[in-house]
Structure 1
């Protein structure tokens, strides 16, 4: 299955997109700047740009050595590798996001834990930042969500990754939460694409389709996909709003995936008391919005019918 981020990465490669990270994406994470050598005659911005681009290029020249280590997920071998090649994986005091994303893509949870903690002596106080945007406009949690790496998602969240970051830039679909990536990719699963209203560009869902969707989502093969969405939903703000947006846009499968994955979360989250008044749970909020939407729709249709009758009588 070609996921959202894989499709974007393939497009960037085909387009020859090898532009390095820009300093403005780095600035919030580190107050220290590496000064250009006195003999270089470069200003700070030019030097910074060259350093970042070199870090990206250098990392991809050693990635073939790193991949076998990550497949074994051996922290000992990784630290030995870093001791030799670490200078090609860092910028300022941080391990570059391309390196962390490589660990995530290979689902090397133990190695990722090492670089996120940054406590191993071999790292020389360097570590990976779980909230550092990559050159392609997405964050580590997007990468983990793209491959439904549940343990990696849990690790990133435990190390401070935000589930509310959104993709940005012209190399990615903008405005996507990690939760969106997980839900969207779940909806592209072969079981759903092959069995739920195939070959219909604008499907009209029936009650039977809803039952079929629930049945498909409850299959054991779908568990890992729902688990990823469930873990992300626990840490994402406004999940009820996201569900409502899917419903309003006619994306029944997306809404079904998120409702099933986040059902416990949306029942519990709004149930706290505020000013001694119990707020309705998320399901009640969604049902209320649907009812209001249908009422507004009926009013609009009634208004149009009256206008049509008035014009016919003239």
Structure 2
């Protein structure tokens, strides 16, 4: 027979109260119910733990020796139950998230601050990576949720929320684009371009949008990271196209961002999880916060 938490609590209460009556009152039990719990515990350990007569109750020698162990077991089990309840109710736990670098450097810090304000015991594991890696990390369950870019055709991924991230041209303040009210594909085709590397979600959108131009394009360089693209623009190698939410766009006071007059320059973004998997409660709470920061069309 296994040890029962309520039975252990009953013995500790009787030992501390020195009375079945007082212990029963403390546990909000009838005395017969308390007696049943004590007998069940004695059967589980295979020894008598209490000597009881009409006047008093006392621990047996075995009971005295077991009491410290049972008290420790009781504390440990109550701690486990408390921690488990906190996890189940979303009051503690670790949020494992993979996300696009633009999201990690823009909305994510404020979201973490807000979450920690509401749930001080929360911790985070963050992977800021390109969209294809976000999807892979979610699919392989190395993280619980992802903020990814582009379409999500993977049947193993479930989209929890979809939104968009508009792309803008980033150029030096003295560049001709800086004073233009409307910038289109034909304008972009006339200048050197600093584009993020093939395989990134931003590049996929840019390539699709620029495909409507039949002539050649002047691609000056193809850095992997947006901050590198910004540095290339600052050095005068060309203009770049980045999400308007990217902090890299605002990192250089000498650069300006301009809207592109073409609806094709919009990157789809989505909050995803692995299909068929239940999110931890605390992660579900964070997803609700994320929804508020993801712009919809």
- TM tier, smaller: under 0.3
Larger Rg: 2
> Given the two structures, how large is their TM-score scaled by the length of structure 1?
0.24
Which has the larger share of helix? 1
Which structure ranks higher in relative contact order (CA pairs < 8 Å, sequence separation ≥ 6)? 2
TM-score by length of 2: 0.25
